[in-house]
Structure 1
Amino acid sequence: MSVSVVLFTSDLRLHDHPPLRAALAAADEVAPLFVRDRAVEAAGFATPNRTAFL
């Protein structure tokens, strides 16, 4: 069994995410990974809608 890890950074879309599509095509299982980074939040990406989604 093969497993791919997909790192989600600022792009949380699922319907047209090239790394996710590649992982799904290449592996039996996919482990999505999202790391909350305070530096990203400080840069202004922590909008209310995004924060609520997470």
Structure 2
Amino acid sequence: MAVPKKKTSKSKRNSRKAHWKHKAAVEAGKALSLGKSVLSGRSNSFVYPQDEDEDEEE
């Protein structure tokens, strides 16, 4: 027979939510850092195709 589960405490719920948000903030910081390095042209860890027209203009 089905038995109801115990209620999760507010502190455990808040802890899980804080951990999830912290992980998202860390990933957002990494993405921002990568975007800045790509725009500045100093990126070594990110490879992306460049058009031949862009190389000729510079």
Scaled to the shorter chain, the TM-score interval is: under 0.3
Task: Judging by fraction of residues, say which structure has more helix.
Answer: 2
TM-score (normalizing by structure 2)? 0.24
Structure ID, larger Rg: 2
Task: Judging by fraction of residues, say which structure has more strand.
Answer: 1
Higher RCO (CA < 8 A, seq sep 6+)? 1
TM-score (normalizing by structure 1)? 0.24
